[in-house]
């Protein structure tokens, strides 16, 4: 079945440093979504990318979808303590019209003040 892996599993950064998490799918994706889950909380939708090579920005966050639509990345510039949490990528099922998502393994970000 479809597998979605993320690296690194954990990342500890000093406040103000940059952070990047990489997402790789075993299958080609029609789109990729990113979610953030704060400690003790639930996932919150951040963004969806659809087009090959697409790049989207949300303030300090930059999201990229690979040319082959099998990988994606999330880059945070100048991290802040509010960025703490686990970042998940998620891709839809491989069947047409299949809405269910397969979540990546996640990258847990901790910030050292």
CA distance 84 to 27: 29
Q: Which is nearer to another protein, 9 or 78 (CB)?
A: 9
Q: CB burial class (10 A; 0-12, 13-18, 19+) of residue 27? A: middle
Residue 12 Cβ vs another protein, minimum distance, rounded to whole Å: 15
For position 88 contacting another protein by CB under 8 A, the verdict is yes
Cα 39 vs. chain centroid, distance in angstroms? Answer: 16
Residue 16 Cβ vs another protein, minimum distance, rounded to whole Å: 26
For position 91 contacting another protein by CB under 8 A, the verdict is no
For position 84 contacting another protein by CB under 8 A, the verdict is no
Residue 90 Cβ vs another protein, minimum distance, rounded to whole Å: 8
| Buried/exposed code over 62-85 (b: 16+ C-beta within 10 A; e: otherwise) | bbbbbeebbbbbbbbeebeeebeb
C-beta of residue 9 within 8 angstroms of C-beta of residue 98:
no
Binding to another protein in span 29-68, by CB under 8 A: 31, 33, 35, 41-48
For position 85 contacting another protein by CB under 8 A, the verdict is no
The site for another protein (CB under 8 A) is made up of 1, 31, 33, 35, 41-48, 88, 99-106, 108
């Amino acid at each position: 079945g479809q597998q979605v892996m993320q690296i690194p599993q954990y990342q500890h950064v000093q406040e103000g440093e940059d952070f990047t998490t990489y997402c790789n799918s075993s299958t080609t994706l029609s789109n990729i979504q990113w979610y953030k889950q704060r400690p003790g909380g639930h996932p919150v939708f951040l963004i969806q990318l659809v087009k090959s090579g697409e790049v989207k920005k949300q303030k300090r966050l930059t999201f990229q979808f690979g040319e082959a639509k099998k990988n994606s990345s999330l880059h945070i510039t100048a991290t802040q303590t509010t960025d703490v949490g686990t970042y998940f990528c998620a891709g839809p099922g491989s069947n047409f019209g299949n809405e269910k998502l397969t979540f990546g393994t996640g990258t847990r970000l901790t910030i050292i003040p």
